[in-house]
């Protein structure tokens, strides 16, 4: 009946469901089965009428046939069998099987290349998807959803965060997770619903409360990170309607913001939390932050005005995705280089792994994606097992909890957290150690998709979890075709760098994390550069088991990451510690053994060798104290253990942060100020709503143009070398490649630069740094261009490089002669000194890490050499001029346009021209629009950063702490070109005394020429380096004199009327007022005593409290740059369009300019608009830099508006009760010009460097900050406890 045994075919046919079998004769069925047997041998056939298929389940693969086709004799097997029945072509059945075997195996389920998913509620069906296509590229390029931003491309910044919703069959519910779109392969999103920032609200319809609150709380500045912040918070609220402050902070772990310092973001989002956002009485004199005295206001926004969060208004999950359906077909996507296979069953997966043992298994793509993108690795076959039930389960056993290898780390954490809450503490020691590591494991977006099995199999030597799994002896279940085995994670599991004991054809099915018993303890440790979302320097998992009723070690495991090419198990040390009492002697011997066993070569990859070795011992010491403390608590009545000294207890504490509390007080506007006057009002960034909804357009968000091409750079891999040959033949053979450009393709001049013309557009013969641009590839897609760029072969003849400042000094390698600034009598000053200190201070470099990388789109206009440049630059006019020079055309043929920047910080003041000139040359050659947005790694490679400095000082001081003489030599590492380093060094010299009055001073500056990418402008422009060196020698004076730090610093501050060492009279000096106010508001003196008391009671944690002044001169030191212009149009409907020379990069420049115009024209800000910054509206603009753009452009707008108001005055006088629109209309009818320009030059700036005389700065800004920090002396771990800034 329902089960027939066909011995001749060696198969079993099983009828499922109801109804008769298809009407076939037994002979015909036998023929079908014989055909199958001929092709695949032993198999099982599942024959399901109408709904399913015939599934043939052999050892390797699956193929599906439609049952109705088979019944009617039209399917492939049926037709072949019918023909075979007739005897006319007896071999066609075998031939059919051979044709089918040309696929992935001898027999498999039918393939499907149809990808189905939803984006913002709309169904999307894609076929033949390239496995290398990631979600962010698809959203931005295919769907035009540019709100999702590309920041780092490796899951580290969160600007690409989107929400993915899917039905989880094992949990029986819909789940919502935040993911990084930059790492998610589009292939992995079958049957999911993706929600981007555009899908939850817009300015045209209704803002979502998440979007509204970050905007109104001033949490969006440059705005590039804002969509990612919004989507992370939105996902949290979809899962937790009333989150805690801790959940909010944890949610934002994976999102970076380069502008705000996070305070306004957290302040806005904590209004969703269960707890109050009040400071808890942390204000002045214990008063609430909301009840501060005086004229200062704590309210930047009014929470009561926020839209309420209504969960009933959220988009629904597509019902089509909520059905529980087993996948019928194996998803197979074949790209140009990679094939992606998503099997439906474990049998299929094992068969595929047997056939393709080199194939990589991918669940979250958090490792393979980065390897393919950044390490140029290629995996031709990728298997995606994420939906196989045997890899997605959780099972509680008598010995522990078993997790399927495809379970995400977030899921593992949730299960372990629940178990730790419900089980006795002694049972969950390992669980709690895993949870501690997961707290600091990447960000939520990574943990939501990264699989526990992937973490193990990746075999990273700095994995956070693997050392703990090894120490705990976790059990792994491995499977291959026909077999399974259980393998214990121990010291032998990791066999080499990125290698394990798992065989190539095996698949990791599950990992069991064991329970612990009484007398068993486990801890995990990790030290990174920063706590959240960072890779480890060293990490460790440690476990010890004691004999019952004693403190004698029965079993111990000490495992480390970051101490070698693999996870290292200190087995020799562990053997020596067995059967030992847990006491000070064991600690002493253990440290000695570890120091011997965990030796690192001085040249070990990763550096910091001494620190890493110290950390390995510090972790063991912490573990020893922690276990000693637990033994005393758990077995105090059974046996005696050494008590932990109270001053040592802090070494056992896990790192934790208190919930943040903050308050910002600012000077309120006068009571009589009219409400329409927005000057001094906390007006949110005018683009904040657009930034929060993803509508704000950045350079790479511009729509694709017809015939647009993409460019990728070819850069040097040598620091200093002659170019022997360039071979682009392989690159030119790659599909879609249009051309390869070098110096010979430049129509104008290859010479370029800023202060000096000492650079080239393309390297010509010699490269002078790693990252030096040699050429560029132009292709039809970004992927093709980047792939081709890597295929260009360059050979070199190496030359000796100069890298450090010390190298430059020893080789006398400088860009220019030294510059000197001197005032007073140095010799006399030192003779008056009671004490003299000498020393040196090294200040390292710094990457800009603006969230938006450099981007340029060049559009040739086809006549007279005209070209339009869209660039993310702070210097539109400089970009215009250097592009014109490279193309050999006048500047009036080039228009540079800037809408906004996703952060600049000085990094886009000059270095953007390096990319703009290359892209412009490509557009000129191809006669097509050309675009290039640098990837994060290339951007950091080619652009340089903050200049490293070396300061050598000699300082004389009196017993009172008064400084009488300073002799300083400053060395600035400029890199391979001068760029702006001469001006940076000048400002460093002008700030080498910080805010201190120094009567006798000499500073000599040297601009070092090295083989590094040219360093450039960076927030503060040399002043931070000069002031940090000043505070170094000031600190040395304080230590030597023994006087209180605040007393010495206060004594030396500038006073009103003082003459600075650059011979400018100090006017409106309020540094003393700032100092006194900061001392009072921070309760400095009482907290100083509390810090001293804490340090006396704690051996391994120490606190420090400092108060530091700053003074910054406001003006360009290059006098000619202190000019600005503006253009103001009034249209006949009364609306106003402003244009000025500054660029908007998050600092709110456009917002402030609108405020100025609003005040001068006496109209609401809603009537005023700024479109962009462009060189065809305001020419010859100075860079948006030096903290002067608001001053200069604001004055230019003021002048232009005053001109217009003078023109409108007769019409206002004639109709005093009229409206703005009526006055404008009357002026237009009388043919009065309604457009005006304004020009401003900062007055009285006339400094003469050679004579050290004249007025250098227009004025100075002053500030004082006090910070209290806590440092773990064993690990270097640190946290900021409190900061007060005035």
Instruction: Indicate if the pLDDT at residue 832 is higher than 70.
Output: yes
Instruction: Indicate if the pLDDT at residue 468 is higher than 90.
Output: yes
- Residue 1005's DSSP bridge partners are 819, 970
Instruction: Indicate if the pLDDT at residue 70 is higher than 70.
Output: no
Of the chain, the percentage scoring pLDDT greater than 70 comes to 90
The pair of three-digit structure tokens given for residue 1065, joined into one six-digit string: 């009279």
Reduced to 3 states (helix: H, G, I; strand: E, B; else coil), residue 521 is strand
Q: Inter-axis angle of helices 429-439 and 409-422, to 10 degrees?
A: 140
What mean pLDDT is reported for the chain?
Answer: 90
Instruction: Indicate if the pLDDT at residue 836 is higher than 70.
Output: yes
Reduced to 3 states (helix: H, G, I; strand: E, B; else coil), residue 998 is coil
Q: What is the pTM of this model?
A: 0.90
pLDDT value of position 33: 40
Instruction: Indicate if the pLDDT at residue 90 is higher than 80.
Output: no
Helix (H) or strand (E) holding 681: none
Q: Which residue has the tokens 């400088």?
A: 814
CA distance 933 to 702: 12
Provide the sign of the torsion angle of the four alpha carbons 338, 341, 346, 349, taken in this order: negative
End-to-end CA distance of the chain: 89
Residue 528: which of 1280, 1279, 1276, 1281 has the closest Cα? Answer: 1276
CA distance 1109 to 1074: 8
| 291 band by pLDDT with thresholds 50, 70 and 90 | low
pLDDT (tens digit per residue) in 914-956? 999 999 999 999 999 999 999 999 999 999 999 999 999 999 9
pLDDT (tens digit per residue) in 341-389? 999 999 999 999 999 999 999 999 999 999 998 888 999 999 999 999 9
| 283 band by pLDDT with thresholds 50, 70 and 90 | low
Instruction: Indicate if the pLDDT at residue 1103 is higher than 50.
Output: yes
The pair of three-digit structure tokens given for residue 483, joined into one six-digit string: 């077999």
Instruction: Indicate if the pLDDT at residue 760 is higher than 70.
Output: yes
CA distance 491 to 473: 9
CA distance 607 to 627: 31
pLDDT (tens digit per residue) in 99-112? 333 444 444 568 99
pLDDT (tens digit per residue) in 1131-1157? 999 999 999 999 999 999 999 999 999
Within 10 angstroms of residue 1064's Cβ, the number of other Cβ atoms is 18
| 49 band by pLDDT with thresholds 50, 70 and 90 | very low
Q: Which residue has the tokens 């801890």?
A: 523
The pair of three-digit structure tokens given for residue 514, joined into one six-digit string: 């064991």
Q: Is 1140 exposed, middle or buried (0-12, 13-18, 19+ CB in 10 A)?
A: buried
pLDDT (tens digit per residue) in 142-173? 999 999 999 999 999 999 999 999 998 878 89
CA distance 883 to 893: 10
Query: Taking a C-beta distance cutoff of 8 angstroms, is the pair 316, 195 a contact?
Result: no
Query: Taking a C-beta distance cutoff of 8 angstroms, is the pair 88, 42 a contact?
Result: no
pLDDT value of position 276: 56
| 658 band by pLDDT with thresholds 50, 70 and 90 | confident
pLDDT (tens digit per residue) in 401-453? 999 999 999 999 999 999 999 999 999 999 999 999 999 999 999 999 999 99
CA distances from 644 to 73, 584, 623, 808, 1270 (A): 83, 11, 12, 52, 21
pLDDT value of position 285: 57
Least confident of 273-282, 325-334, 528-537, 1018-1027: 273-282
pLDDT value of position 589: 97
Instruction: Indicate if the pLDDT at residue 37 is higher than 60.
Output: no
pLDDT value of position 1273: 96
Kindly state the average pLDDT of the residues 878-890: 98
Chain centroid to Cα 957, Å, comes to 45
pLDDT value of position 92: 35
């Amino acid at each position: 009946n329902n089960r027939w045994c066909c011995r001749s075919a060696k198969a079993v046919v099983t009828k499922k469901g109801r109804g008769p079998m298809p009407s076939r004769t037994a002979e015909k069925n036998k023929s079908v089965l014989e055909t199958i047997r001929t092709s695949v041998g032993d198999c099982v056939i599942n024959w399901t009428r109408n709904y399913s298929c015939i599934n043939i389940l052999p050892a390797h693969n699956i193929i599906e046939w439609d049952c109705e086709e088979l019944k009617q004799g039209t399917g492939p097997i049926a037709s072949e069998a019918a023909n075979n029945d007739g005897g006319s072509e007896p071999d066609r059945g075998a031939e059919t099987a051979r044709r089918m075997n040309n696929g992935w195996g001898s027999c498999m389920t039918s393939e499907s290349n149809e990808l189905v998913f939803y984006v913002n509620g709309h169904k999307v069906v894609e076929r033949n998807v390239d496995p290398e296509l990631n979600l962010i590229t698809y959203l931005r390029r295919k769907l035009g959803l540019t709100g999702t931003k590309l920041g780092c491309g490796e899951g580290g910044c969160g600007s690409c965060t989107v929400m993915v919703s899917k039905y989880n069959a094992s949990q029986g519910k819909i789940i919502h997770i935040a993911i990084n779109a930059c790492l998610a392969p589009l292939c992995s999103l079958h049957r999911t619903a993706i929600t981007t920032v555009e899908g939850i609200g817009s300015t045209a319809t209704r803002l979502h409360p998440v979007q509204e609150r970050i905007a109104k709380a001033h949490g969006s500045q440059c705005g590039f990170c804002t969509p990612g912040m919004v989507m992370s918070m939105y996902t949290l609220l979809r899962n937790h309607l009333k989150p805690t402050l801790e959940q909010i902070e944890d949610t934002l772990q994976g999102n970076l913001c380069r502008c705000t310092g996070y305070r306004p973001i957290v302040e806005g989002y904590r209004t969703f939390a269960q707890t109050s956002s009040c400071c808890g009485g942390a204000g002045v004199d214990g008063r609430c932050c909301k009840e501060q005295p005086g004229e200062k206001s704590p309210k930047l926004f009014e929470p009561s005005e926020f839209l309420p969060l209504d969960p009933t208004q959220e988009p629904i999950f597509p019902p089509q995705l909520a059905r529980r359906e087993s996948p019928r077909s194996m998803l197979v996507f074949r790209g140009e280089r990679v094939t992606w296979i998503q099997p439906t069953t474990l049998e299929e997966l094992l068969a595929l792994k047997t056939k393709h043992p080199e194939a990589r298994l991918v669940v979250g793509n958090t490792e393979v994606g980065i390897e393919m993108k950044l390490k140029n690795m290629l995996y031709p076959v990728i298997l995606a097992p994420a939906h196989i039930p045997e890899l997605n389960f959780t099972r509680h056993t008598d010995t522990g909890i078993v997790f399927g290898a495809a379970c995400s780390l977030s899921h593992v954490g949730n299960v372990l957290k629940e178990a730790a809450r419900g089980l006795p503490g002694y049972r969950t020691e390992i669980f709690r150690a895993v949870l501690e590591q997961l707290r600091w494991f990447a960000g939520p977006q990574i943990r939501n998709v990264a699989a526990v099995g992937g973490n193990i199999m990746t075999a990273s030597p700095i994995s956070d979890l693997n050392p703990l799994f090894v120490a705990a002896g976790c059990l792994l279940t491995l499977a291959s075709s026909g077999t399974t085995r259980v393998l214990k994670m121990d010291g032998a599991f990791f066999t080499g760098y990125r290698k394990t004991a798992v065989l190539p054809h095996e698949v990791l099915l599950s990992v069991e994390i064991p329970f612990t018993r009484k007398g068993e303890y486990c801890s995990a440790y990790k030290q990174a550069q920063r706590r959240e979302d960072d890779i480890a320097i060293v990490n460790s998992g440690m476990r010890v088991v004691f004999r019952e009723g004693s403190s004698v070690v029965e079993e111990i495991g000490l495992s480390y990451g970051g101490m070698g090419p693999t996870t290292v198990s200190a087995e020799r040390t562990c053997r020596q510690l067995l059967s030992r009492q847990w006491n000070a002697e064991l600690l002493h011997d253990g440290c000695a053994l570890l120091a011997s066993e965990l030796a690192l070569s001085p040249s070990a990859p990763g550096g910091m060798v001494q620190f890493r070795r110290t950390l390995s011992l510090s972790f063991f010491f912490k573990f020893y104290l922690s276990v000693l403390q637990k033994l005393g608590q758990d077995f105090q009545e059974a046996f005696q253990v050494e008590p932990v000294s109270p001053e040592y207890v802090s070494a056992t504490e896990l790192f934790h942060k208190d919930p943040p509390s903050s308050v910002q007080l600012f000077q309120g506007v006068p009571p009589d100020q009219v409400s329409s006057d927005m000057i001094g009002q906390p007006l949110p960034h005018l683009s904040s709503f657009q930034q929060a909804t993803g509508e704000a357009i950045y350079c790479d968000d511009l729509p694709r143009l017809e015939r647009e091409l993409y460019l990728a750079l070819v850069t040097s891999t040598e620091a200093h070398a002659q170019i022997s040959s360039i071979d682009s033949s392989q690159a030119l053979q790659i599909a879609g490649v249009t051309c390869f450009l070098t110096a010979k393709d430049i129509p104008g001049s290859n010479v370029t630069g800023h202060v000096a013309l000492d650079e080239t557009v393309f390297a010509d013969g010699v490269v002078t740094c790693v990252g030096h641009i040699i050429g560029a590839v132009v292709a039809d897609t970004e992927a093709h261009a980047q792939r081709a760029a890597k295929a260009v072969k360059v050979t070199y003849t190496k030359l000796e490089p100069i890298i450090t400042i010390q190298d430059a000094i020893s080789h006398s390698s400088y860009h220019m002669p030294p510059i000197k600034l001197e005032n007073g009598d140095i010799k006399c000053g030192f003779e008056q000194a009671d004490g003299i200190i000498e020393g040196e201070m090294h200040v390292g470099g710094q990457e800009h890490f603006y969230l938006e990388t450099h981007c340029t789109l060049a559009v040739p206009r086809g006549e007279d050499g005209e070209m339009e440049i869209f660039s993310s630059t702070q210097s539109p006019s400089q970009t215009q001029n250097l592009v014109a020079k490279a193309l050999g055309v006048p500047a009036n043929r080039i228009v540079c346009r800037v809408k906004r920047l996703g952060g600049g910080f000085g990094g886009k003041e000059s270095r953007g021209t390096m990319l703009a000139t290359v892209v412009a040359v490509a557009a000129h050659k191809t006669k097509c629009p050309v675009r290039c947005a640098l990837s994060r790694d290339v951007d950091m490679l080619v652009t340089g950063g903050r200049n490293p400095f070396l300061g050598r000082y000699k300082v004389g001081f009196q017993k009172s702490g008064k400084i009488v003489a300073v002799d300083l030599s400053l060395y600035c590492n400029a890199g391979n070109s001068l760029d702006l380093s001469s001006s940076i060094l000048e400002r460093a010299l002008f700030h080498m005394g910080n805010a201190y009055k120094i009567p006798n001073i000499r500073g000599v500056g040297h601009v070092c020429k090295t083989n590094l990418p040219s360093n450039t402008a960076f927030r503060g422009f040399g002043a931070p380096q000069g002031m940090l060196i000043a505070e170094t020698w000031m600190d040395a004076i304080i230590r030597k004199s023994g006087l209180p730090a605040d007393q010495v610093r206060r004594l030396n501050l500038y006073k009103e009327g003082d003459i600075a060492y650059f011979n400018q009279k100090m006017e409106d000096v309020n540094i003393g007022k700032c100092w006194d106010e900061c001392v009072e508001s921070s309760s400095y003196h009482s907290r100083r005593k509390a810090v001293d008391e804490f340090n006396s009671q704690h051996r391994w944690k120490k606190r420090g409290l400092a108060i530091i002044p700053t003074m910054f001169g406001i003006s360009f030191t290059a006098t000619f740059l202190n000019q600005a212009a503006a253009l103001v149009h009034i249209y006949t409907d009364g609306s106003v369009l402003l244009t000025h020379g500054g660029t908007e990069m998050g600092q709110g420049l456009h917002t402030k300019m609108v405020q100025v115009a609003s005040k001068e024209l006496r109209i609401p800000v809603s009537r005023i608009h700024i479109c962009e910054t462009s060189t065809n509206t305001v020419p010859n603009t100075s860079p948006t830099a030096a903290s002067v753009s608001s001053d200069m452009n604001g004055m230019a707008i003021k002048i232009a508006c005053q001109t217009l108001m003078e023109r409108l005055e007769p019409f206002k006088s004639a109709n005093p009760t009229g409206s703005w629109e009526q006055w404008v209309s009357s002026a237009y009818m009388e043919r009065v010009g309604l457009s005006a320009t304004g020009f401003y030059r900062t007055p009285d700036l006339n400094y003469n460097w050679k004579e050290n005389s004249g007025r250098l700065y227009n004025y100075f800004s002053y500030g004082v900050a006090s910070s209290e920090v806590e440092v773990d002396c064993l690990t270097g771990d640190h946290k900021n406890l409190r900061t007060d800034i005035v």
